Structure 1
Amino acid sequence: MEAATVVSLTMAVLSGYCAGLGVLPPGPVNGTLGGNVIFKTTINPTTLSTIAWTFGDPPVSIVDFLISEGPVTGVGYVGRISLDNSTGSLELRKLTLNDNGTYRVSLRKAGVIQVGNTSLNVYETISNVTLRANVIDLVELNDTAIFTCSVSSGSSPLSYHWLNGSSEVTARYGIQLGDGGRTLTIANVTRYYQGPYRCIVANPVSSEPSQNLTLTISYGPENPIMKVTPLDVLYGSGSTLTLSCSSESSPPAQFQWALNGTLLSNQGPELRLENIQASQSGSYSCWAHNTRTLRYQTSEPYDITVLDLISGAIITTSPNPPIIEGNSVTLTCDASGSIISREWMKDGQLLSAGGNMIISEDKRVLSINPVKRTDSGEYLCRVSNPISTADAKHDLIVNYGPDGMEIKGPTEIKVGQKFTLTCSADSNPPASYTWMLNGTEIPGHSPEFTKEKMEDYLSPGLPAGAIAGIVIGVLLVVGGAVGVAVFFIRKNGTNAEPMHQGGSQQPVYEDLSPVYENTRQNQSPPLPLTDFKSTYDTRIM
Structure 2
Amino acid sequence: MIYLIILGAISGLSEGAGVLPDGPLNAPVGGTVMFTTTLTPSDGPFTAVFWNFGGMNIMSYETTSSITHPDYEGRITFFPSTASLELRDLTLGDSGEYSVNIMPGLLTGGTRLDIYEPVSSVTVTPPSLDLVEFNSSARLSCSSSGSFPSYVWMNGSSEVTASDRVHVTDGDSNLTVVNVSRYDQGSYTCRVFNPVSNAISDPVIISVSFGPENVTLTVSPSKNLYKEGSNISLTCSAESRPPFLQFFWFLDGEQLSGTGPELRLMNIQTNQSGNYSCQAFQSKTLRYETSQPSSITVLQPISGAHVRSTNLTIEGNSVNLTCDASGSIVTIKWMKDGSDLILNDNMALSDNNKVLSFNTVNRENNGDYLCTISNPVSSSEAPYRMDVMYGPENVRITGKDNVTVSEPIKLICSADSTPSATFTWMLNGTVIPANSPEFSKENAELSDAGIYTCQALNHITDRRSSATFELFVHAGSICNSDFRYVWYLWMFHL
TM-score, with length taken from structure 2: 0.59
Aligned mates of 1:189, 1:89 — CA distance in 2: 57
Q: Which amino acid aligns with 1:301?
A: P
The within-5 A match list for 1:7-22 is 7-11=2-6, 14=9, 18=14, 21-22=17-18
Q: Where does residue 84 of structure 1 map in the other structure?
A: 79
Cα distance 1:29–1:20, how it changes in 2: closer, same or farther (>3 A)? Answer: closer
Q: Where does residue 252 of structure 2 map in the other structure?
A: 260
Cα distance 1:310–1:37, how it changes in 2: closer, same or farther (>3 A)? Answer: closer
Shift of 1:216: 2.1
Aligned mates of 2:277, 2:188 — CA distance in 1: 39
The within-5 A match list for 1:356-371 is none
Q: Which amino acid aligns with 2:261?
A: P
Question: How much identity, in percent, do the aligned residues show?
Answer: 48
What is the root-mean-square deviation in Å for CA atoms of aligned residues? 2.4
Matched, 1:278 2:274: no
SS in 1 for 2:93: helix
Q: Which amino acid aligns with 1:131?
A: V
Shift of 1:20: 8.0
Segments of structure 1 that go 5 or more residues without pairing to the other structure are: 1-5, 312-336, 339-384, 390-541
Q: Could you tell me whether the CA contact under 8 Å between 1:41 and 1:87 is conserved in 2?
A: yes
The within-5 A match list for 1:35-54 is 35-46=31-42, 47-54=45-52
SS in 2 for 1:51: strand
Matched, 1:55 2:53: yes
Shift of 1:276: 0.7
Q: Where does residue 107 of structure 1 map in the other structure?
A: 102
Q: What do residues 350-383 of structure 1 show as CA deviations (whole Å, max 9, x unaligned)?
A: xxxxxxxxxxxxxxxxxxxxxxxxxxxxxxxxxx
Aligned mates of 1:288, 1:10 — CA distance in 2: 91
Segments of structure 2 that go 5 or more residues without pairing to the other structure are: 304-326, 329-374, 380-494
Shift of 1:287: 1.0
Q: Where does residue 144 of structure 1 map in the other structure?
A: 137
Shift of 1:387: 3.5
Shift of 1:37: 0.8
- 1:288 aligned residue (276, 280, 285): 280
Matched, 1:30 2:22: no
The within-5 A match list for 1:352-431 is 386-387=376-377
Q: Which amino acid aligns with 2:285?
A: T
Cα distance 1:100–1:18, how it changes in 2: closer, same or farther (>3 A)? Answer: closer
Shift of 1:19: 9.3
Q: Could you tell me whether the CA contact under 8 Å between 2:232 and 2:264 is conserved in 1?
A: yes
SS in 1 for 2:106: strand
Cα distance 1:82–1:310, how it changes in 2: closer, same or farther (>3 A)? Answer: closer
Q: Which amino acid aligns with 1:260?
A: D
TM-score, with length taken from structure 1: 0.54
Cα distance 1:179–1:8, how it changes in 2: closer, same or farther (>3 A)? Answer: same
Aligned mates of 1:104, 1:388 — CA distance in 2: 99
Q: Which amino acid aligns with 1:132?
A: T
Aligned mates of 1:204, 1:135 — CA distance in 2: 33
Matched, 1:182 2:173: yes
Shift of 1:112: 1.5
SS in 1 for 2:100: strand
Aligned mates of 1:52, 1:388 — CA distance in 2: 106
Q: Could you tell me whether the CA contact under 8 Å between 2:140 and 2:174 is conserved in 1?
A: yes
Shift of 1:185: 0.4
Shift of 1:21: 1.1
SS in 2 for 1:267: coil
Shift of 1:137: 2.7
- 1:238 aligned residue (206, 221, 229): 229
Q: Which amino acid aligns with 1:37?
A: V
Q: What do residues 263-300 of structure 1 show as CA deviations (whole Å, max 9, x unaligned)?
A: 11112121111111110000011111111111111111
Q: Could you tell me whether the CA contact under 8 Å between 1:136 and 1:145 is conserved in 2?
A: no
SS in 2 for 1:11: helix
- 2:70 aligned residue (61, 67, 75): 75
Matched, 1:224 2:215: yes
Return structure 1 stretches of 4+ with deviation > 2 angstroms: 6-20, 308-311, 385-389
Q: What do residues 169-214 of structure 1 show as CA deviations (whole Å, max 9, x unaligned)?
A: 0101210011111110001111111121111111111111111110
Matched, 1:204 2:200: no
Q: Which amino acid aligns with 2:137?
A: T
SS in 1 for 2:3: helix
Shift of 1:241: 1.1
Cα distance 1:310–1:62, how it changes in 2: closer, same or farther (>3 A)? Answer: closer
Q: What do residues 28-66 of structure 1 show as CA deviations (whole Å, max 9, x unaligned)?
A: 11121121111111112232221110011xx10011111
Q: Where does residue 90 of structure 2 map in the other structure?
A: 95
Q: Where does residue 302 of structure 1 map in the other structure?
A: 294
